[in-house]
């Protein structure tokens, strides 16, 4: 029983890491029906910039700097990689462009920070907390709380503020929003900026647990992509649940079946969802008019 609880606790911590990264995919998909395949690299860049800044300023002052960096980085990705593809209604251009930008960012990071994994100083004590025999790291609790808080903040912003309403309007119907006087291409740029900001925030949030380094985006970005598919790309709630499902399945399979097959059930789940409910567990099926 205690072992099961421990596995679930660790699964939740890992799952939230995936979920918070997947949240970024969902943000841009809502407004532009495009994704930043360099989301993992946005996470990595945010984390490494944070690693450099944190040594000078400490954790709390580092956060706004990293958030600002994320906004900027996302805007750059949209301007360079996605805008042209949307303008020409290209089906695949943005896929290639965001992947290419991701590779460029990774090489850039390798040249600046090297390729070794780096330790990100933990703002919280590193001794585990124990709840009825289940151990969790304070930082893992912070990841869960921080991720939920961030997603909540983005949701509130979208629903309450006038700018957020423009984002929602664009997500619902881009053409109609444009006719209502909303600058939809600016909204899309903004959604990319916001998406990379969440990734950068996720980067500094998870780095004390996962270590940081130029290659951290690869595995985490890919896992988060599975999460986004499982949960549904149109639902913020979906990616959280999707993340938890994947994280918990991984730890449970690792323990009860074999650590060699840890990644298999997640992939099976991915295939099942794609077959049975292609919009994702929480996604709304949309009819695409051609």
Angle CA(17)–CA(23)–CA(25) in degrees, nearest 5? 120
157 vs 255 by CB, closer to another protein: 255
Please list every residue from 104 through 143 that binds another protein, using CB under 8 A: 110, 114-119, 126-128, 130, 135-137
17 vs 150 by CB, closer to another protein: 17
CA dist., res. 34 & res. 18, Å (int) = 19
Select from 157, 262, 264, 277 the one that contacts another protein (CB under 8 A): 262
Give the interface size with another protein as a residue count (CB under 8 A).
42
HSE at residue 82, side-chain half, CA atoms within 13 A, is 27
CA dist., res. 176 & res. 183, Å (int) = 11
Task: Find all residues with CB under 8 Å of 199, minimum gap 6, and list them.
Answer: 21, 24, 39, 42, 43, 46, 70, 74
108 vs 110 by CB, closer to another protein: 110
163 vs 256 by CB, closer to another protein: 256
* Beta-strand runs (E) in the chain: 129-131, 134-136
Stretch that binds another protein, among 149-157, 168-176, 197-205, 245-253 (CB under 8 A): 245-253
Q: Are 218 and 126 in contact (CB under 8 A)?
A: no
Question: At its nearest, how many Å lie between another protein and the CB of residue 253?
Answer: 8
* C-alpha closest to that of 281 among 290, 270, 289: 270
265 vs 280 by CB, closer to another protein: 265
Please list every residue from 209 through 238 that binds another protein, using CB under 8 A: 209-211, 213, 215-216, 218-220
Question: At its nearest, how many Å lie between another protein and the CB of residue 121?
Answer: 10
Question: Residue 265's CB: how many other CB atoms inside 10 A?
Answer: 18
- The shares of helix, strand and coil residues in the chain, as percent rounded to the nearest 5, are 75, 5, 20
Question: At its nearest, how many Å lie between another protein and the CB of residue 252?
Answer: 8
27 vs 143 by CB, closer to another protein: 143
12 vs 27 by CB, closer to another protein: 12
Please list every residue from 1 through 30 that binds another protein, using CB under 8 A: 3, 6-7, 10-11, 13-14, 17
Where helices occur in 124-215 by DSSP H, the ranges are: 138-160, 162-172, 174-179, 184-210
Q: Does 205 bind another protein (CB under 8 A)?
A: no
- Using CB under 8 A, list all residues that contact another protein: 3, 6-7, 10-11, 13-14, 17, 110, 114-119, 126-128, 130, 135-137, 209-211, 213, 215-216, 218-220, 250-255, 258-260, 262-263
């Amino acid at each position: 029983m205690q072992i099961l609880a421990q596995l679930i606790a660790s699964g939740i911590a890992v799952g939230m890491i995936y979920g918070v990264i997947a949240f970024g995919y969902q943000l841009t998909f809502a407004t532009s029906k495009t994704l930043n395949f360099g989301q993992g690299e946005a996470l990595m860049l945010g984390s490494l910039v944070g690693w450099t800044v944190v040594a000078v300023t400490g954790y709390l002052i580092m956060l706004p700097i990293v958030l600002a960096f994320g906004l900027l980085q996302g805007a750059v990705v949209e301007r360079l990689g996605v805008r042209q593809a949307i303008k020409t209604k290209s089906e695949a251009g943005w896929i290639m462009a965001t992947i290419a930008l991701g590779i460029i960012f990774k090489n850039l990071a390798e040249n600046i920070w090297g390729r070794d994994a780096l330790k990100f100083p933990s703002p919280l004590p590193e001794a585990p907390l124990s709840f009825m025999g289940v151990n969790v790291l304070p930082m893992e609790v912070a990841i869960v709380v921080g991720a939920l808080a961030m997603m909540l903040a983005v949701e509130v912003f979208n629903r309450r503020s006038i700018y957020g309403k423009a984002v929602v309007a664009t997500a619902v119907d881009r053409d109609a929003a444009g006719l209502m006087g909303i600058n939809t291409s600016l909204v899309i740029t903004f959604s990319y900026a916001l998406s990379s900001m969440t990734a950068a925030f996720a980067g500094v949030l998870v780095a004390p647990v996962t270590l940081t380094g130029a290659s951290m985006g690869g595995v985490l970005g890919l896992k988060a992509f599975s999460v986004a598919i499982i949960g549904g790309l149109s639902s913020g709630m979906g990616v959280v649940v999707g993340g938890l499902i994947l994280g918990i399945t991984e730890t449970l399979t690792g323990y009860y079946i074999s650590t060699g097959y840890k990644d298999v059930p997640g992939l099976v789940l991915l295939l099942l969802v794609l077959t049975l409910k292609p919009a994702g567990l929480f996604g709304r099926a949309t009819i695409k008019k051609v």
